[in-house]
Structure 1
Amino acid sequence: MSIPQISEATIRHNSNASSYSRGQEYYSRGAVIDLKKRGNTIQAAVEGSEIKPYRVSINFDAGGVTSVDCDCAYNYDGWCKHIVATLLTCSRSSAIIEERPTIEQLLNSLDHLQTQRLVQELLQKNPELIDDVDCFVSLRNSPTPATKSPSTNRRNKIDVAPIRSQVRRILQDGLEQLEYGTEDDPFTEELTAIIEKAQEFAQNGDGNNAIAILEAITSTYAEAWDDLAEYGGDSYSIVEPLDNAWTEAILCAEIPEAEIIDLRVMLESWQDEIDADFAMSLSALQQGWNYEPLQLVMNGETDAQIWEGTRPDFADDLALIRLDFLDRQNRYTEYLNLAFSEGMTLQYLTQLAALGRVDEAMSAAKTQMDTAESAFALAKILREDGYLSEALGISRSGLSLPGNCTYEFASWTSDLAEGLGDRAIALNACIVAFETRPSFRDYVKVENLALDTWSIVKQDLLEILRESESWYAGSAKVDIFLHEGLIDEAIKTVKTDSYYASESLHRVMEAAIPHRPDWVIEKAKKLAEEIMNSSKAKRYSDAVKCLKKVKAAYSQLGQQAEWSSYRAKLEYTHGRKYKLMDLFKELNKS
């Protein structure tokens, strides 16, 4: 696949002003080197401030960029300057991109002995990779579980004594912190990390060892409960992860009938001791996988229901744990039947798409897709599998659904539609993004997409902006009003009652000098005088920054004499503040 056209407007939209400007500088000086295309991936090295170049990787499809990565430390606001420089190079100097084979093509050209020699040489250079190789080979050589078997049922139990000791140490240290009056939670983070170890065993099919670890954690916690309760400890934050982990372990293990009874008694006892709710794990223990209503549901009986009467609060969580297990077992028919019966629309639709049953997924989506989250997840899977037009169709209809991902979904849809050349959908989706979360970037993107209709669309966006009361709309209002020359509206938007003059306020004052010099004089004087009168020497430079605007505003009014008089008054009042007077010299330069 050739590289899709990535417009510079798209690059600008996905990066902040600083990153874009610096990226242009990097491009201009030829900092992007070793630019290669391997399949649907662009790789580059970008020479920056460090001795070793930064590595950039960009994945794409026919709809445009799907993901970007750079090993620099930047992780703030959009694409970093190295990614910007790489994409600008792809856009402006695509002829220098060297096309190279993919890793699959390279490995396919080697025989068994050559592949083995390659791995050995790589391990000599990178010995830390031996653990990855060991894990890969171990998993590959492990026997595949039978289709219907819920567990590999490994009988060997790990030594849980170190785990008990670790839990006791966490609880003892936490109790000491409670005694000293800490208000922070001294237990949950470390205990949750141990619980996650049990979950790793369960997810690898070793439910027995997962149960052994959880038994050690829960019993040790229960033993210390009286002391925890005495110092105001509560089990709320630890019970939910424990209940989830117990449920997952139970469903991954083959537990003899006698042990089921013992385990139920233990869970019920712990539940009473530590004031917990293990209803989900107890239900999983009672039902297991052979529970007749569950079997009927997984076998596709349309009239079957797992729950009689009121559906418990934990039903969705239990269904998700069961679905994860069935997915790991490749039991896709049972997965789909269970997801459909339990109303897990997102899981049902995305699994159909992941299995390549795209027509079924598209048909089911018409009647079952009920949230933006389910539509977004389905669209992303369709795109990953190469069904770009189908992904765009789902996105177009899914954007009108309720959900909490509307902004991200709309931005993603706009980028995909633009990459596929559908400007109308790209424009509409970007307007939805702006309505959801007004920003200067999306405003400019809509402007680039609207073309001849911009004069009409602009008025709609400005009205949306004026009516928006969301906290993040503040900076967007300043940026957009200044961009459109609406100085009075920018003045109304920016905060002027703060002791600290924000960067936005400085920008508005700068822009207002030719239009509202009287307002600039009033606000800038007030800010400067507050700093000087409080004798905050560290902030004298901010005061002078404001005074420069006062000077420019007086000049705009043709009142240089008034400025000279005002400055003389300040020098008389603050003349003994030598650091401030030294900074006053800057006022002669402008």
Structure 2
Amino acid sequence: MVDMNAARNASQVAKPRIAKETIRALASAESFARGRSYADDGAVSDLLRRGDRLTAEVEGSEFEPYQVSIRLHGGGVADAHCTCAYDWGGYCKHIVAVLLKFADEKTPIIKRKPLAELLAELDQSRLIELLEKRTESDPELVTWIEAELATAIPARPPHRPDAGRRRTPVDPAPVREQARVLLAARNRRGRYWDGYRPSGNIEELQRLVEKAVPFLEVGDGGNALRILEPIGEAFVDDWLDHSYDTDEHLYELFADLGRLMAEAALMSELAADERDALAETLEKWQRRLEEYGIDEGFHVAIRALQTGWDDPALAAVMAGKGRSWPLSGGDDWLEDYLTAVRLRVLEACGRTEEYLNLARAARAHTSYAGMLVKLERTPEAIAHALKSFKRPDEAVVLAKALREAAAHDDALKIAETGLGLAGDNDDEIAGSSAVPLACWLRDYAGGIGRTAVALKAALVAFEHSLSLEDFCAIRTWAGTDWDVIRKDLLERLASAPHAYDRIRIYLSKGLIDEAVRAVGDRFGYGAHDETLMQLASAAHASHPEWVIRLAVHQANSIMDANRAGHYSLAVQWLEKAALAHEVLGREDDWRACLDELIERHRRKYKLRPLLEGLRGR
């Protein structure tokens, strides 16, 4: 008989982890670089996998480690969350660090059964017993369950015309109560020495707001509003009145809440007096936010309620009778934002021709071309893209859509054209947006045997990122031309004013002289920099004087700052200095240096034994 549990565990182990190229595409260049440093410095701990759910802790700038949760999907990531406040595009450095450790096959991972498997073994009475027992110590669980049930959409057969829609109205009371519970948890006082600081999880608040999204996706704006309005009420009343001074990050949720309320309002069949009443409520909320200096909020929802779909000029544009929107032609960010909201509403409601007319008039070129692909009007999408796209990030969106539609030649054509939109190396915006497109095209073209295209894309990716991963990827497609290409790449690297991976690339090729020259005496990399430590190990025989200066500087930066948790790292640096002294035959100088350090730090009871231990090595 086959052991099913063993089979499941074996299949889980056999699943691919994740490629570094995939991780790079999920984050900005800065987040990827900083996440790699975190991973190299050992900041990631307690890596645990339950089926497709990966969790870990990451040490950061706060006293408490950040909690990271990632849902895997095949060789990629379905979604990821971190308890840090990062919200500037792509995943944060903590998520990147966890993914990089996960990608490293040498990283040990604790494996446990997925929760679904654990619960599947229980009958209903036992499950109820467990929940009731938990609520004795966690009464907030009841509130959460009530909110979950209140916002649920019952499953219906897919052939039903109303599939995915809920027939009964959502009860807003459990939603309001859950919002208040979560807000209270964010500012619960901890132990007296911790002070008064946020302790709840902002991700839970975000997930509560997103309860409205499934309703919006099926065009049910009325029920979406019944979820969003009580959350907004709790946010404005409870947070502003009691928590503003202790939580500077929560206000970022107001922008999401306002956008979703705008979508819901445009989907809802509200009477004129209902629209006016809700707009008046949102205006009152917005005035309260602005009293606290918060600009993000409900502006777009207010304008959506005030204008609706009633503007005759807008109606003409959506009917294909107008050539430009908005009519003012000015730089009105709010109207541009509202136009993007209108497009999402039109798509959710299946009003595709009106969508195309508005997108064309608003010059939303990516949205317009993407909808044409969904409507299987690919030649029109290609023609529009070639005529209208100006940036690489526009091209990558359409190229991915074409690939999903199995239009591979067209996807390659658009992606290659997008590479030409990157501009020169001084164009920072175009250059940074070229990297995701170039990496995507490199991997895609290489996977379907288009080696020349893959090489071209790989060169563009490195030209704009100057990363070790992109440098190494070029060799895969360079073939017999690698030696010539490698020389050009190193010349490009040497002349670049900024290159985060410069030292790592030199080390990977054994170019110790170049690496030492690149660092010079500017030891500003940080004592935790694993790359600098590797360079010291590689250079102590050929550049002993330089290694001594570097190692002593790095060790002193830790010891003089009294960073007791990193004293062992300081000792590692001093070991590099000892090796360099030995190469020079200056053991007496090393012993004198060590004696001076021991005397200077004699009162540091954690450090002194570590320094004295160096005498016998």
Paired position in structure 1 for 2:532: 505
Task: Find the counterpart in structure 2 of residue 369 from structure 1.
Answer: 389
1:345 to partner: Cα distance:
1.0
CA 1:200–1:447: 2 relative to 1, 3 Å? closer
Preserved CA contact (<8 Å) 1:68 1:83:
no
Letter in 1 for 2:220: D
Q: Give the 5 Å matches for 1:18-57.
A: none
**CA distance in structure 2 between the aligned counterparts of 1:304 and 1:229, rounded to whole angstroms:** 44
Structure whose CA Rg is larger: 1
Q: Which residue of 1 aligns with 2:446?
A: 418
1:414·1:425 contact (CA, 8 Å) conserved in 2? Answer: yes
Matched, 1:298 2:315: no
Q: Distance in 1 between matches of 2:195 and 2:589?
A: 59
Q: CA deviation at 1:414?
A: 1.3
Please report how far the alpha carbon of residue 579 of structure 1 lies from its aligned counterpart in structure 2 after TM superposition.
Answer: 5.7
Amino acid at match of 2:434: T
Partners of 1:572 and 1:236 lie apart in 2 by: 52
Change (3 A) 1:568 1:408: same
**Cα distance in 2 between the residues matched to 1:308 and 1:70:** 39
Aligned amino acid, residue 140 of structure 1: P
Q: Does the 8 Å CA contact 1:524/1:550 hold for their aligned counterparts? A: yes
> Judging changes above 3 Å, is the alpha-carbon distance between structure 1 residues 80 and 207 closer, same or farther for their aligned structure 2 residues?
same
Residue 458 of structure 2 aligns to a residue whose secondary structure is helix
- Residue 263 of structure 2 corresponds to residue 248 of structure 1: yes
Q: Is the 8 A contact 1:382 1:391 kept in 2?
A: yes
Q: Does 1:80 align with 2:108?
A: no
Residue equivalent to 1:433: 461
Q: Distance in 2 between matches of 1:184 and 1:70?
A: 24
- Give the letter for the 1:296 counterpart: A
State the Cα RMSD in Å: 5.1
CA distance in 2, matches of 1:536, 1:236: 34
Provide the C-alpha distance between the structure 2 equivalents of 1:233 and 1:13, rounded to a whole number of angstroms: 35
- In the alignment, structure 1 residue 407 sits paired with structure 2 residue 432: no
**What letter corresponds to residue 255 of structure 2 in structure 1?**
E
8 Å Cα contact 2:326/2:335 also seen in 1? no
**How many Å separate the matches in 1 of 2:180 and 2:355?**
40
Report what 1:331 is aligned to.
351
Separation (CA, whole Å) in 2 of partners of 1:492 and 1:406:
30
**Residue aligning to 1:48:** none
Q: Once the 2 structures are TM-superposed, how far is the Cα of residue 251 of structure 1 from its aligned partner?
A: 1.5
C-alpha deviation, 1:552, in angstroms: 4.9
Check conservation: 1:528, 1:546, Cα contact below 8 A: yes
Aligned equivalents of 2:304, 2:525: Cα separation in 1: 57
Tell which has more relative contact order, 1 or 2 (C-alpha 8 A, sep 6+).
1
Q: Is the 8 A contact 1:247 1:281 kept in 2?
A: yes
Relative to structure 1, is the Cα distance of residues 307 and 144 closer, same or farther in structure 2, using a 3 angstrom cutoff?
A: farther
Post-superposition CA distance 1:34-73 (Å, at most 9, x none): xxxxxxxxxx9xxxxxxxxxx99757xxxxxxx58999x9
Q: Which amino acid aligns with 2:393?
A: E
Determine the C-alpha separation between the residues in 1 that align with 2:21 and 2:203. 38
Write the distance in 2 (CA, Å) between the matches of 1:161 and 1:442: 52
Q: Aligned partners of 2:563 and 2:199: how far apart in 1?
A: 39
Secondary structure, aligned partner of 1:300: coil
Q: Aligned letter for 1:367?
A: K
- Paired with 1:538 and 1:262, the residues of 2 have a C-alpha distance of 58
Count of matched residue pairs = 479
Q: 1:489 aligns with which of 514, 529, 543?
A: 514
Aligned residue type for 1:420: I
TM-superposition CA deviations, 1:314-343 (whole Å, max 9, x none)? 223222222222222333222222211111
- Given the superposition, is the C-alpha separation of residues 546 and 257 from structure 1 closer, same or farther in structure 2, using an over 3 Å criterion? closer
Contact 1:513 1:520 in 2 (8 A): yes
Q: 1:211 to 1:57 in 2, by over 3 A?
A: closer
Contact map agreement 1:323 1:339 (CA 8 A) in 2: yes
Change (3 A) 1:68 1:420: farther
The answer (yes or no) to whether the contact 1:56–1:83 under 8 Å persists in 2 is no
Write out per-residue CA displacement over residues 216-267 of structure 1, whole angstroms, 9 at most, x where no aligned residue: 4455666669946997999964543343232112211112344344444444
Give the deviation of 1:366 after TM superposition.
1.0
Give the counterpart letter for 1:481 in structure 2: Y
| Aligned with 1:517 (options 538, 544, 548) | 544
What is the SS of the residue equivalent to 1:386?
coil
Deviates more, 1:246-255 or 1:265-274: 265-274
In 1, Cα distance between equivalents of 2:247 and 2:101: 41
Q: Which runs of 5+ in 1 are unaligned?
A: 1-9, 17-43, 45-54, 60-66, 85-122, 146-150
Look up the match of 1:3.
Answer: none
Q: CA deviation at 1:186?
A: 8.6
Residue deviations 1:280-323, cap 9 Å, x none?
A: 33433344345433332222224464545646422232222222
Aligned equivalent of 2:587, options 563, 569, 585: 563
Q: 1:299 to 1:124 in 2, by over 3 A?
A: farther
| 1:466 matched to 2:494 | yes
Q: Aligned partners of 1:534 and 1:226: how far apart in 2?
A: 39
Q: What are the residue-to-residue correspondences of 1:197-276 with 2, within 5 Å?
A: 197-218=211-232, 227=241, 237=252, 239-272=254-287, 275=290
Q: Say which of 402, 413, 417 aligns to 1:397.
A: 417
User: In 2 relative to 1, CA 309–385 (structure 1 residues): closer, same or farther, beyond 3 Å?
Assistant: closer
Aligned to 2:404: 384
Taking the aligned partners of 2:565 and 2:166, their CA distance within structure 1 comes to 68
* Separation in structure 1 between the aligned mates of residue 78 and residue 367 of structure 2, nearest angstrom: 28
Alpha-carbon distance in structure 1 between the residues aligned to 2:552 and 2:106: 43
Corresponding residue for 2:161?
143
Q: Distance in 2 between matches of 1:478 and 1:405?
A: 24
Query: What does the per-residue CA deviation read over 1:115-162, in whole Å, with 9 as the maximum and x for residues that have no partner?
Result: xxxxxxxx999999xx99x967426365349xxxxx9896x5433333
Q: Which residue of structure 2 lines up, in the alignment, with residue 33 of structure 1? A: none
Q: 2:363 aligns with which of 343, 349, 361?
A: 343
TM-score normalised by length of structure 2: 0.62
Deviations 1:527-572 (A, max 9, x none): 6789899999987765665565556546655x4xx43675488579
- Flag the 1:261–1:567 CA change in 2: closer, same or farther, 3 A: closer
Q: Cα distance 1:419–1:256, how it changes in 2: closer, same or farther (>3 A)? A: same
Amino acid of the residue matched to residue 160 of structure 1? P
| Percent identity (aligned) | 30
Partners of 2:540 and 2:547 within 8 A in 1: yes
In 1, Cα distance between the equivalents of 2:233 and 2:471? 58
Provide structure 2 residue ranges, at least 5 long, that are not aligned to the other structure: 1-17, 25-51, 53-70, 81-94, 108-119, 128-147, 423-429, 603-607
* CA distance in structure 1 between the partners assigned to 2:364 and 2:588 by the alignment: 73
CA contact (8 A) 1:349 1:378 kept: yes
